[in-house]
Amino acid sequence: MTTIRTHLVAGGFPPGQHAGHDMDFARVQLLQALQSNEDVHATVSNDFTDCDKWLRDCQFLVTYVAGPFADDEQTAFIQDWMNEGGRWLALHGSSGGKAVRVDGSGMRRWVKSAYHDALGGFFLTHPPIREFTVDVCDQSHPLMQNLPASFAIKDEPYMIEVIHPDTQVLLTTSDIEAPRYVEEIYGEDTSLLPDGKNRALGYVREVGKGAVAYFAPGHCHTPTTNVQVTVATNIDPDHVVPLHFRGAWTSEAYQQLLKNAIRWGTGTSD
């Protein structure tokens, strides 16, 4: 029997902090999903420190982070690892990184780095949590197997810039309206796809012998980890934030997506 080595990075920033997410819940959910394959052996980290040590004999990397991102040296190792056949499944806040203050404003913008180039996606911002429709672009792709043509979820509606033109977009939505401040802090809304209507919520891209897949949904929080200040009216008409939020994790479609992604990453589907 061949053991499939998987490494999970799940954590917030600063080290040991939740960064507005129920990291314990997400970590346990992902480990349980990985254990659905009895041949998988998983290791766990809170950030990308020493990722070269953990990935050296690893086939599959899974990340669910809010704040931690790989520095240039760590990114170069991940890039080489993918070139040699490694597969990376990145979820939710994995598209974030470092934010800086915008001159003359109290707002912050995220800074694109080599890490985002390797990931293939860059987080701009998200409007308040709401319910929205997700459209599946290619139901024949292994990552999309057994998913409906569209499904509704409650989540943070991420605005993601797709960096590389050879990326295969798998999930989109047309339900996200960009806040007015996006053009102010970034110059333009780079999360819009060429059709000028849809935005990517999930994609896959081949990297050498390996690949990277990213899916934006997956927010979760508890009363002690919540930092949301408002929600859309289709969550609560009075904009009251639910103190316990599991969002997409309670969706059958999202659970199917995770199942597909783990099969894809562990090489048990092509």
Task: Give percent of the chain above pLDDT 70.
Answer: 99
Beta strands at 159-162 and 121-125: parallel, antiparallel or unpaired: antiparallel
Pairing of strands 60-66, 4-12: parallel
**Helix ranges restricted to H, 47-170:** 51-55, 72-83, 114-119
Closest CA to 43 of 57, 25, 22: 57
Tell me, what's the pLDDT at 215?
98
Number of H helices, E strands in the chain: 6, 13
* pLDDT at position 36: 86
Bridge partners of residue 207, in order along the sequence: 210
The model carries a pTM of 0.97
pLDDT at 2: 79
What is residue 25's predicted lDDT score, i.e. its pLDDT?
98
- Cα 117 → chain centroid: 15
The stretches of 108-171 forming alpha helices (DSSP H) are 114-119
CA torsion 88-91-94-96 (nearest 10°) is 140
On the question of a cis peptide bond just before residue 242, with omega within 30 degrees of 0, the verdict is: no
Helix axes 252-266, 23-34, angle to 10 degrees: 60
Structure tokens at 87: 């597969």
Residue 44: what pLDDT?
A: 97
Q: Identify the segments of the chain with pLDDT beneath 70.
A: 1, 269-270
Retrieve residue 135's tokens: 């459209």
**Spatial distance between the Cα atoms of 52 and 74, rounded to a whole number of angstroms:** 7
Name residue, tokens 């052996």. Answer: 41
Q: Tell me whether strands 60-66 and 87-91 are parallel, antiparallel or unpaired.
A: parallel
pLDDT at 269: 59
Cα–Cα distance for residue pair 40/262, rounded to 1 Å: 10
Q: Are 175 and 133 in contact (CB under 8 A)?
A: yes
For the chain, domain boundaries = 4-266
Count of alpha carbons within 13 Å of 125, Cβ hemisphere only? Answer: 19
CB atoms within 10 A of CB 122: 23
pLDDT at residue 1 in the model: 59
4-266 has CATH 3.40.225.10 classification:
no
